[in-house]
Structures are given as C-alpha cells and as structure tokens.
Amino acid sequence: MTEQLSKLQKRRALQEKFSASLPSRLEDIETGWNSVNEDMSRLSLDHLFYRQIHSLAGSSGSFGYHRLGFCARELESQIVAFIDKPNELANLEHTLQAGIEQLLILADEGADEEFTQDEQIAKKYGNQLTTGSLKRIYVLEDDVEFSDELKLHLELFGYQAHIFQNHLDFIQTHQSEPANALLIDVVSEEGPLHGVEVASEIRKYDGDVSILFTTSRDDWQARLSALRTGSDAYLTKPIDYTLLIEKLEQLLGDQSEEPYRVVLIDDDPLLAEHYESLLNAAGIHAVALTGTDNLLQVLAEMKPDIMVMDLYLTDCTGIEAAQIIRQQPIYQSMPIIFLSTETTLLTQLNALRQGGDDFLEKPISDEHLIEMTRIYGHRFRSLRHQMTRDNMTGLLNHINFKVALQHEVLMAQRRSAPLVIAMIDIDHFKQVNDNYGHLIGDRVIKTVAWLMKQRLRHTDVIARYGGEEFAVILPEASVDEGKALLQSLLEQFSSINFTAENKNFTVTLSAGLVGCPPYNELDTIISAADSALYEAKKAGRNRVVSVSSNNG
Amino acid sequence: MSKTVTVLYIEDEEDIREMTEFALEDEGFELFVFSSGIDAVSQADMLRPDLLLLDMMMPAMDGITTAVKLREFSHLADIPLIFMTAKVQQSEIDKYNEIGASGVISKPFDAMQLPEQIRSILATSHD
C-alpha cells in the first residue's frame, strides 16, 4: 500500500513538473508563432514552432492535460495540412492565431485529470478519477469518539474530513484554506452555544460556506440562534449519517457533468472538421461526418445528446435524414438542428415541421454554435433524465438499464474488452421496513445509491433494477476486478450506521456478478447474474458470488 | 508474471522519458534510457535488450533512422521494435511496418496502461 501511495505521489509530482514547464513551453510557441507569422514561408516541419506544438500534442495527455493535448493536435494537423496545400494560407493564419490563444487558456486552466487514486482496488478504480479534488469538510467537535466516527462516515462517501477540537485552529484553517462545508457542534466546553458564536465569527468574512450544526441540544433557543447564523442544517445527536450525507449532497452536489455529445453532418469536409475541432476545444464531445454512410453506427456508438446537420446532404436532404433517425425510439426526443444558407422563412419552418428543432443560418459564428449546442444538450439531458431515471435515487430505471446493457455489451464485444454485470440486493430489506417504517427503508435505498455513485467510475452504469435491487455494469473490468470492487463496496456499506428511533443499526448487501466474454444475449447475462445473486443469498448473504455467464 | 523485459528506450523529451520510466518501473521492465538516437547507437554493442522502444520524432536522428542503425547490430536485428508517436496515420504505419516494427504506441499514452500495451504488442510479435 505504501508502495502504491508513493507511486501515486510520484505520478503527481511528474504532473506538477509538467505543469511548471508549461509557461515556458507556451512562451516558446508564442515566440515561434510571431516569427512564423511575419513570414509564413518559414513554417516547416523542422521549425521549432511546429516541433513545440507536436511535442505538446504528444505529451499533454499523459500528464492529465487532455484538452490541451487535443487542441495542440488540432493545430498540428492544420500545420501539416497547410504544408501540403500552401494556398490556404489566410485560413491557416487565423486558425493558428485562435488556436494558440486557446492553448494559453487551456494551459492556464490546469489539468483536467487529477492524479488522485484510491489505494488498492486495481489501477482503474480510483475515487472517480476525473471528478477532480475531493470536497473538504471541517468539523469542530470535542468529543473524540464521535468525531472519529463522523470522519469515517464522511470519508466513506468521498468527502475529505478534518477534525478540529480548538475553535481558533478551526477558524484559522478555514480562513487560509476554505472548506466546502463546516460541521460545528453547538455545545462545547467553552459554553452551551459556543458553536453558534464560532459560526457567526466565520459568517463575518464568509457568507457562502455551508454550515451544518450537530448538537445534543434540541431546544428552541439553540435552533433559533443556529438559524440566525445562516446555517444550512441542524442535526441532533445521535447523528443520522444518511441524513447528514443527504444534506451534504444537496448542498455540495456535484454539478459537473459529462461533456455533451454531438454528431454533426456537413458535406463540406473542411467545415465538418472545423465544427468538430471547434466543439471539442469547447469541451463538447463532437464527431463530424461528411455524409450519412456510417451515421447509424456512429449514432449507436456515440449516443449523442444532439445532432447538427446541413439541410442539404449529398445523398438525401437533412429532413429525410432526420425522419430516418427519428424512426428509432431512442432518438425521438433528441434535438436535431439544421444548418443551412437557406434564409427563407418558409423553408425553415418546413424543416422544423418535419422533425427539426431549430434552424441555424450559415455562416454560423463559432460562439453561436457552441452556445446552441450547450443549450440543446442541457435541455435534452434534463428531459432524458426525467424519462430514464428512478425518481428516488436518480439512478437509471429498469428499462433503461437494459438499453444501457445492450450498448455496453456491444461496445465491449467490438473492442474485445471484458465487462462485468452485477446484481446487488439489500439483505433482509423487509425487516428494515417492518421494524423502522418505509421512510427509513427509503433512506437505506438512497444510501446504497449514493455509495455506489461515490465508489464507481463515471463510465460505470448504475441502475435501480427493482425495489431493493440494483444493477451495475462495469466496462473494461475483469471478473476479479469487479469482485474486488463489489467486495469493498459491500464492506463499506455494512459499516454505515443507520439511525432510527434512537437506535443504531447496520444493513448488508449481497451481490451476484457475471463477466463477459462470452458476449451472450442480454437475458442470459441478466439471469446468470441473478442466479449468482441467489447463490450469494443462499450462502448466507453479505457476500459477492460470481458465475460464468455460460451456466446461467 | 512473465520474466523481466529489458528495454532500450530512446526519447528526447525529458518529461515523457520520466513518465515512461515511471510507468514501467515495478511492472517487470528494466530500462536502458537514452535521450538521443546517436547516444543509443554509440553504446548499442554493449547492451542486450529484449525490446527497442523509440520515440519517432527526435531532432538530429529521428526514430526511423535510429531504428535502421540499431538493426545493423546483429544482436539487435531481430528483437521486437516499438515506436511511440504522436501522429498515427496509415501512411506512417506502412512506413513502420516496412522497417519491421512490431507495433506503434500512440502519444499521449496513459501511464497506467503502458505496461499492458507493450506486453500485448510483444505477445503478438512472438507468434
């Protein structure tokens, strides 16, 4: 474990070193550009300017600067193309100028992948590699036993917790390195409302930070004073951890989303390429096609949030293409935007009537295209979220789990990659409901969902398959890796303290998993995972059992 | 785990060199590292690597030229050869194949996956 950690530190150190080298690299690029811009005939593949860009394209990604690397690669391909076709000079100058500005911005924004990884569970399973740094919570609490338990639960859900016993340290640390949320015990040795005084002290200079009180005082006066400091929650001891986590998720919930996915079609290859690189540089995942040849495959692989296409394609009209796309149920509500030089209102309206959502006139400004993509991408995402998600947990629902599974199996098969499917069920859930009521039962279900969202990767699929049954898909994971991951998930879940009617209790999970290949039919895979789950239950619950998908 | 693979590795950029060393250390690889093709060629007769791992684009002597020169040593003539490159176009791949490369690793690479990438190229090149 220490070896793992030092490896992690080393990788981070390499990243820092790379970050530190960026200003001088970019300075070189700018200097090179100034020289080349004076006399474009100087531009060759031996020129330092080109070499620097090439080097950036090849290295940035390895150090977690994916967008920077992408942008450099685009510039490189523009330069290479120009060397073959020197008559497109004016175009190139403009592109390079804009591209270099973009490089400066991206370098300035820092790495988009932080090299933070959880210890053991294989290399791939970090604490969600791409979401960046953890949320920081400062806790002011003088009861050591309680604060240890609190820390444990916060960390389980992916928060970084720091415990303070002294309020001066607490205030000072928050001043120099602000936390995302503060958790303050109302009562301390200093006085019965001392925590509230500390909070008002902090409010003097920080009106934004979330403040949550924990307390053994459940009286009106204490609640009122706490409220007046602008607190966000008031939790009485013994703390119901799931309630605390629910509150924190609400307050600090991750707004960051996967990039929007766009498929574009324009029969002009140059324009298509331009749109693609433009949107990609803006953090939107775009694929541009010049015709409809591979469209259906690309759609199946990309699952775009939005389509943008020219109204006139070489082999059909955009309207026809839209109609074909809309024949497939999953694309019925996907926004389709037409691009065209067509300016008559009638044609535009006609296009909209026949399945388009909006109409953009060419030439369209770069900003406009990016903005439209974001607006429609967002709209479609929220719509789809409502349609495909389970209300209580925000996870995929049963039907859409199957849709996702079909997609993932197809992708894995195409790449000859492994894939793990698991069914997870809450043990003795009926007893939880019978003993503590449905509200507590619901909280247990939500907690499973949070923990899974916390522990699994962005690329993993998590669904609420039935009442207390969940399903997950782990792409690129072997059976052993999947098993290790679920094992640790089960252990973590069983260590969570639930509180109801002043009683503490814990709950366990059972899981059955199956690996691909073989890439069987969906129903075969699901029933294999189900029977593994059944085995896990039969063997005494609170365990993971795997089967080969053959003997489902 | 299979036996240690000894690699003659040439890369002119320091940070990439360090990242590769980092990626391969403790993963069953032992590296002879050079920052230029010229250095590597000048010491090649003393080294007994199992694999040549070369950056493509280097000043002074590029990857292809270096590979050709290294191949002139009889003990390096038949060992697997892998190029690392930021550009992978078909025309280039043809060029690599022509001089007998076993595979190409595209840059930027993911340090966590590099050992596996190399191993899988080696596995196919031994058939």
Cα dist from A189 to A143, A218, A229, A265, whole Å = 10, 18, 20, 68
pTM of the model: 0.46
Separation between Cα atoms, residue A533 and residue A509, nearest integer Å? 10
Which residue ranges make up each domain of chain B? Answer: 5-122
Q: Kindly list the residues of chain A whose beta carbon comes within 8 Å of any beta carbon in chain B.
A: 3, 7, 10-11, 14, 17-18, 21, 51, 54-55, 57-63, 69, 73, 76, 80, 123-124
A398-551 carries CATH number 3.30.70.20: no
Q: Are B54 and B33 in contact (CB under 8 A)?
A: no
Quick one: which H or E segment has residue A308? Answer: strand A306-310
List phi, psi (to 5°) of A356. Answer: -90, 160
H, E, C per residue of A199-249: HHHHHCCCCCCEEEEEECCCCHHHHHHHHHCCCCEEEECCCCHHHHHHHHH
CA distances from A71 to A58, A92, B56 (A): 11, 15, 21
B1 in reach of chain A (CB within 8 A): no
- 8 A C-beta contact, residue B76 and residue B89: no
Judged by DSSP in three states, A453 sits in helix
Dihedral class, residue A356 (left if φ above 0, else alpha if ψ from -120 to 50, else beta): beta
| Inter-residue contact A513 to A482 (CB < 8 Å) | yes
- Token pair recorded at residue A6: 């030092």
Closest CA to A225 of A269, A195, A251: A195
Domain residue spans of chain A:
2-109, 129-252, 262-388, 398-551
Pairing of strands A509-516, A544-548: parallel
For an interface test with B, the pick among A59, A74, A113, A415 (most B C-beta atoms closer than 10 Å) comes out as A59
CATH number of B5-122: 3.40.50.2300
- How many beta-carbon contacts under 8 Å exist across A and B? 58
Name residues whose C-beta falls within 8 Å of residue A58's C-beta, 6 or more positions apart in sequence.
A69, B16, B57, B85, B86, B107, B108
Residue in B13, B15, B22 closest to A10 by CB = B22
Angle at B27 between CA B53 and CA A20, to 5 degrees: 70
User: Among all chains, which residue has been given the structure tokens 């991206």?
Assistant: A106
Q: Do A54 and B86 touch (CB under 8 A)?
A: yes
CB contact under 8 A, A59 and B107: yes
Contact A14 B18 (CB under 8 A): yes
Radius of gyration of chain B (CA): 13
> How near does any CA of chain A get to the CA of B75, in Å?
31
Residues of A annotated as part of the active site: 468
Q: Where are the alpha helices (DSSP H) in A354-397?
A: 366-388
Q: The sheet that has B103-106: what strands, in order across it?
A: B29-34, B5-10, B51-55, B81-85, B103-106
**Under an 8 A CB cutoff, do B85 and A58 touch?**
yes
pLDDT tens digits, chain A, 552 residues: what are they?
Answer: 444 446 667 777 888 888 988 999 999 999 988 888 888 777 777 778 888 888 888 888 888 888 788 788 888 877 887 777 767 676 778 778 888 888 888 888 788 776 654 333 333 433 333 333 578 899 999 888 888 888 888 887 778 889 998 898 899 889 888 898 999 998 888 888 889 899 998 988 888 889 999 888 888 888 888 888 888 888 888 787 877 887 887 788 655 567 889 999 988 888 888 888 888 888 889 999 988 888 888 888 888 989 998 888 888 888 888 888 888 777 877 888 888 776 666 677 777 777 777 878 777 778 888 888 888 888 888 777 777 777 788 888 888 888 888 888 888 888 888 999 999 999 999 999 999 888 889 889 988 998 888 888 778 899 999 889 999 999 989 899 899 999 989 998 998 888 887 788 999 999 999 998 888 888 889 999 999 999 999 999 999 999 865 543
Q: Crossing angle, helix A48-59 and helix A2-38, to 10 degrees?
A: 150
Cα A401 from chain centroid? 18
Fold of domain A262-388: Rossmann fold (3.40.50)
Domain range A2-109, CATH architecture: Up-down Bundle (1.20)
User: Which architecture, in CATH terms, is A129-252?
Assistant: 3-Layer(aba) Sandwich (3.40)
Equal fold, A129-252 vs A262-388: yes
